[in-house]
Chains A and B, each alone.
Chain A
Amino acid sequence: RKEVEQDPGPFNVPEGATVAFNCTYSNSASQSFFWYRQDCRKEPKLLMSVYSSGNEDGRFTAQLNRASQYISLLIRDSKLSDSATYLCVADNNAGNMLTFGGGTRLMVKP
């Protein structure tokens, strides 16, 4: 079983749609979680950290469910520029390593 698992997609959605991605993690002791965005042939960039209480940044909302060991990312009012791969990330609880999921590809179409 992969440590951090994501549906690879692609998710094809029209502009203005709401789309949600889930990610599951296997290490119940993980403490830190993140979503990174990676554009085609570019480097990953931090989109947002995921807090236990959930957090929102504009059109983006991240949630953490420790009981079920999953993290979600909700994107409202999708823009063409949101087209990218979204990487779910969890730590190894030893405080020294992040494990990345395989990414979920989103394609927003006009």
Chain B
Amino acid sequence: EAGVAQSPRYKIIEKRQSVAFWCNPISGHATLYWYQQILGQGPKLLIQFQNNGVVDDSQLPKDRFSAERLKGVDSTLKIQPAKLEDSAVYLCASSLAGSFSYEQYFGPGTRLTVT
């Protein structure tokens, strides 16, 4: 079974530029999560989708971050404009449903460096 796919794997941009990340969850997984993991810290949830609806985006910096999950499958996360403190690994995860009885499977992440 294919895992969670993410692209690109690495991205280097200058501050104030824009960047977009893509995620393709495991087939059949209704719930999709975007996490931000800063070096030396644990992952922090940015947004959670159930199919194509947003379940929680309370920790998403909405002035610069946006995310969508059209058709309830693939998802994109965008940062516009980027700041130095956005340098992190952006992890996408998916699960069969939103209940924690279902395991979250993580993708390999996109490592973003903002200079």
Query: Which of A's residues lie within 8 Å of B, judged by CB?
Result: 4, 8, 32, 34, 42-46, 87, 91, 95-103
Query: Does A46 lie within 8 Å of B91, measured CB to CB?
Result: no
Total contacting residues, chain B, CB less than 8 A: 20
Query: Does B56 lie within 8 Å of A43, measured CB to CB?
Result: no
Pick the contact of A98 from B40, B41, B58, B104 — CB < 8 Å?
B104
Q: Does B25 reach chain A (CB closer than 8 Å)?
A: no
Interface of B, helix, strand, loop or mixed by DSSP: loop
| Chain A residues whose C-beta falls within 8 Å of the C-beta of B48 in the assembled complex | 96-97
Q: Does B43 reach chain A (CB closer than 8 Å)?
A: yes
| Chain B residues whose C-beta falls within 8 Å of the C-beta of A42 in the assembled complex | 108
Query: Does B109 lie within 8 Å of A102, measured CB to CB?
Result: no
Query: Does B99 lie within 8 Å of A102, measured CB to CB?
Result: no
| Chain B residues whose C-beta falls within 8 Å of the C-beta of A95 in the assembled complex | 98-100
Query: Does A43 lie within 8 Å of B108, measured CB to CB?
Result: yes
| Chain A residues whose C-beta falls within 8 Å of the C-beta of B42 in the assembled complex | 4, 87, 100-103
Q: Does B64 reach chain A (CB closer than 8 Å)?
A: no
25 contacts between A and B (CB under 8 A): A4-B42, A8-B40, A34-B100, A42-B108, A43-B91, A43-B106, A44-B43, A44-B91, A45-B106, A46-B103, A46-B104, A95-B98, A96-B48, A96-B55, A96-B56, A97-B48, A97-B56, A97-B58, A98-B100, A98-B104, A100-B43, A100-B44, A102-B41, A103-B41, A103-B42
